[in-house]
Amino acid sequence: MDILIILEDNNGNIHRMGLESIVAAQQLGSELGLSTGALVMGANADALAEEASQYNVDEVIKVNDPLLASYSADGYSEAVKQIIEQENPTYVLFGHTYQVRDYAPRVSAKLMKPFLVDNVALSTEGGKVVFTKQMFNAKLFSDVIPSGEGPYLVSFQSAAFSADNAASGSASVREGSVNLDASMIKTESEEPFQEEAGGVDLTSADLIVSVGRGIGKEENIPLAQELAKALGAELASSRPVVDAGWLPSAHQVGSSGQSVSPKMYLALGISGAIQHVVGMKGSKNIVAINKDPEAPIFEIADYGVVGDVLEIVPKLTEALQ
């Protein structure tokens, strides 16, 4: 096959970003006339293969191997490398999940083939395949091109493609096999766990006031708390605020925190790094206040205020009371 899609297990279902990479593969395949296939592996390979076969791909390969039953970077990178060598695709597509970040660079190193990561778009204009990536915390974009012989490993950022656009079909499923040895796996993993959420459920909030690094210091957090209170909103934050210890992690919105879609998301001093944006861009109305007119948050805001949050927020609270 020409395009191999690597699908990830998310508790027995295909990870949403895997479905998004099926859409990318379908676009690339139809524009360039290339065949597509999907790889599933792990403890739930049978169920994942069944789910994958309902999409418009040419075939699905499932790998059942006891050493892949639970995830390890050693096992998964070796298995994917061997399947690539067997199938010899030109493109290998991934969702840019945390698991992919953990093992796919090792596949790249094993094969000495490039891994073009975290792309937001692809173009095949004039037969030239170009991938687009954000740089400098989304302030600039870059078109990235692979060189030399394939295969090229490529991952896509969350929501670069909409999973709803995945064309359905009925693909054949075949068993793939890899040659793994227990001595290859140098890590031991414990069960995944969630930290205490602290009773903050942002996912069902109608109104959210969210603070970023632009709030300046911990002593300024009450300004945002008072505004949230005046609006009847929940208080959220971006990662740097949690990292600095100004708010507990239960308040964090973004790829490593909660994903929210309130009626209004009021972003105070949030620059709009992609790790944050993926958790809130589904909000119905995004209002951003930031002193930097170039801040990427204004790219996705419905309403923007260029100004100092420390000046605006107290006056806004007063006006609302």
The C-alpha atoms of residue 41 and residue 60 are separated, in whole angstroms, by 11
Q: Binding other proteins by CB under 8 A: which of 65, 69, 114, 159? A: 114
Q: Which is nearer to other proteins, 51 or 118 (CB)?
A: 118
**Residue 19 near other proteins by CB under 8 A:** no
**Residue 302 near other proteins by CB under 8 A:** yes
Candidates 32-40, 58-66, 91-99, 173-181; binding stretch for other proteins (CB under 8 A): 91-99
The C-alpha atoms of residue 168 and residue 151 are separated, in whole angstroms, by 26
Site for other proteins in 132-151 (CB under 8 A): 133-148
Counting every residue written for the chain, the total comes to 321
Give the tokens for residue 129.
Answer: 């395949």
**Residue 97 near other proteins by CB under 8 A:** yes
**Residue 307 near other proteins by CB under 8 A:** yes
For residue 136, the number of C-alpha atoms closer than 13 Å in the C-beta half-sphere is 7
- Maximum pairwise Cα distance, the chain: 68
**Residue 98 near other proteins by CB under 8 A:** yes
Nearest to 77 by CA among 182, 180, 191, 190: 180
CA-CA-CA-CA torsion sign (306, 310, 315, 321): positive
The C-alpha atoms of residue 155 and residue 241 are separated, in whole angstroms, by 28
x/- map, 181-220, other proteins, by CB under 8 A: -----xxxxxxxxxx-x--------xx-----x-------
**Residue 162 near other proteins by CB under 8 A:** no
Q: Which is nearer to other proteins, 53 or 119 (CB)?
A: 119
Q: Binding other proteins by CB under 8 A: which of 46, 175, 218, 243? A: 243
